């Protein structure tokens, strides 16, 4: 035999012996099944642990293209999507035994394609749910919203808001409470103004109440604005009403100045010629030695001279004879106020 062929045969023989030895080395030696793993049995003739019937170490041990080896249980199971019964499928699928494949159950989904366009497939439950901001009913919306069943969108209810545009122009949307609130400096009612302002329902701004002021320009010409009380007060020497005057005066509403009230006086010029002004009471009192009427004369025979221009005007003089004209009083004249001849 040719030496070259002998050499090649020797190499192949050596390699075969080495390979077979490796297989023997890798197999676990055993005498009993208990010497092997749970999915193996002991081949006592070879002293090696071999796969038990119905178990596997790799996919090829299953001898079925639709099955694979579960390396945890070492049992052959159907690959995803294939089945012999419903137990081989997820809970959201059932087995189509004629095709040997898992099919999605009614009311479930495998992906978004199995849902309407406003829904998405929840990969945990495999149920179609409304996408964010979209809805099937009110339960898919916030508590302040309702679902528009035509558009499948959540919209704020009439008393709530999501955006400023859903509020009045003078309001802003509080996205925490989802309520419209007035902007700073604006109002919806008087409670949103201070005690000196009221809400103007046309401009929705707080405007000064008519009885209050914030500057002299809001007062009358005889007044100034008291910035502490926000009330128009009368300037010095002027008055708003009788309360700004002394007890013996009243406020003259034409000039808004204090004038002397009837039966009172400021000085002697506001009393009769027979009187003087008592500045402690501002009442006109009879001057000593004068009279304003006959009753002021203490002597029964005297009367009060009230004739204008008389040198004894407002003095008590002797009572004369009755008269109507000077002709009734020879040598004197008739006091036409008292109808008595002057003494």
The secondary structure element, H or E, covering residue 42 is strand 40-43
pLDDT for 250-260, tens place per residue? 999 999 999 99
Is there a contact between 78 and 69 (Cβ–Cβ < 8 Å)? no
SS3 165: helix
Beta carbons within 10 angstroms of residue 51's beta carbon: 16
Cα dist. 332→111, 165, 293, 310, 339 in Å? 139, 104, 22, 13, 13
Beta carbons within 10 angstroms of residue 11's beta carbon: 9
Instruction: Round to whole Å and give the CA distance between 60 and 88.
Output: 20
pTM check: above 0.85: no
Instruction: Round to whole Å and give the CA distance between 225 and 233.
Output: 6
What pLDDT, on a 0 to 100 scale, did the predictor assign at position 24?
40
Instruction: Round to whole Å and give the CA distance between 53 and 18.
Output: 29
Which of 218, 217, 196 is CA-nearest to residue 207?
A: 196
Locate 228 and state its tokens.
């502490």
The DSSP secondary structure of 45-65, one letter per residue, reads: TTTEEEEPTTB-SSGGGG--T
Per-residue pLDDT of the chain (343 residues; tens, 9 = 90+): 444 544 555 445 444 444 444 444 445 689 998 889 989 999 989 999 998 888 998 888 888 888 889 888 898 888 888 888 898 899 999 999 898 899 999 999 999 999 999 999 999 999 999 998 899 999 999 999 999 999 999 999 988 999 999 999 999 999 999 999 999 989 999 999 999 999 999 999 999 888 899 999 989 999 999 999 999 999 999 999 999 999 999 999 999 999 999 999 999 999 999 999 999 999 999 999 999 999 999 988 888 888 888 888 999 988 877 888 888 787 778 888 778 787 6
- Match 């087995």 to its residue by tokens: 95
For residue 48, the cross-strand partners are 29, 43
Is there a contact between 218 and 208 (Cβ–Cβ < 8 Å)? yes
pLDDT for 95-139, tens place per residue? 998 988 999 999 999 999 999 999 999 999 999 999 988 999 999
Sign, CA torsion 241/246/249/255: negative
What pLDDT, on a 0 to 100 scale, did the predictor assign at position 27?
53
What pLDDT, on a 0 to 100 scale, did the predictor assign at position 20?
40
Is there a contact between 297 and 304 (Cβ–Cβ < 8 Å)? yes
The DSSP secondary structure of 288-323, one letter per residue, reads: TT--SSGGG-SSTTEEE---TT-TTTTSEEE---B-
Q: What is the dihedral of CA 201, 206, 210, 211, to 10 degrees?
A: 140
Q: What is the CA radius of gyration of the chain?
A: 62
Instruction: Round to whole Å and give the CA distance between 261 and 141.
Output: 77
Instruction: Round to whole Å and give the CA distance between 135 and 154.
Output: 6
Locate 83 and state its tokens.
């089945």
Chain length of the chain: 343
């Amino acid at each position: 035999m040719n030496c070259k062929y002998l050499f090649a045969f020797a190499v192949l023989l050596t390699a075969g012996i080495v390979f077979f030895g490796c297989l023997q080395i890798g197999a676990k030696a055993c005498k009993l099944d208990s010497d092997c793993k749970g999915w193996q049995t002991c081949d006592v003739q070879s002293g090696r642990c071999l796969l038990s019937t119905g178990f596997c170490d790799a996919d090829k041990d299953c001898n079925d293209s639709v099955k694979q080896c579960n390396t945890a249980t070492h049992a052959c199971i159907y690959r995803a999507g294939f089945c012999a019964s419903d137990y081989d499928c997820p809970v959201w699928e059932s087995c189509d035994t004629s095709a040997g494949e898992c099919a999605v159950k009614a009311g479930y989904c495998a992906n978004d394609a199995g849902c309407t366009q406003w829904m998405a497939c929840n990969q945990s439950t495999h149920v179609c749910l409304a996408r964010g901001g979209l809805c099937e009913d009110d339960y898919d919306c916030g508590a302040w919203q309702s679902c528009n069943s035509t558009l499948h969108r959540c919209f704020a209810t009439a008393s709530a808001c999501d955006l400023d545009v859903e509020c009045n122009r003078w309001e802003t949307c509080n996205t925490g409470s989802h309520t419209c609130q007035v902007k700073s400096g604006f109002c919806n009612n008087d409670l949103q103004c201070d005690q000196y302002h009221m809400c103007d329902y046309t401009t929705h701004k707080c405007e000064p109440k008519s009885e209050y002021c914030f500057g002299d320009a809001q007062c009358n010409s005889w007044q100034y604005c008291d910035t502490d009380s926000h009330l128009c007060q009368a300037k010095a020497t002027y008055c708003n009403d009788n309360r700004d005057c002394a007890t013996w005066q009243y406020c003259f509403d034409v000039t808004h100045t204090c004038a002397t009230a009837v039966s009172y006086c400021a000085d002697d010029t506001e009393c009769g010629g027979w009187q003087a002004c008592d500045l402690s009471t501002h009442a006109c009192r009879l001057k000593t030695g004068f009279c304003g009427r006959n009753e002021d004369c203490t002597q029964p025979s005297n009367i009060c001279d009230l004739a204008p221009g008389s040198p004894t005007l407002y003095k008590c003089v002797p009572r004369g004879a009755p008269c109507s004209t000077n002709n009734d009083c020879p040598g004197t004249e008739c006091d036409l106020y008292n109808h008595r001849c002057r003494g």
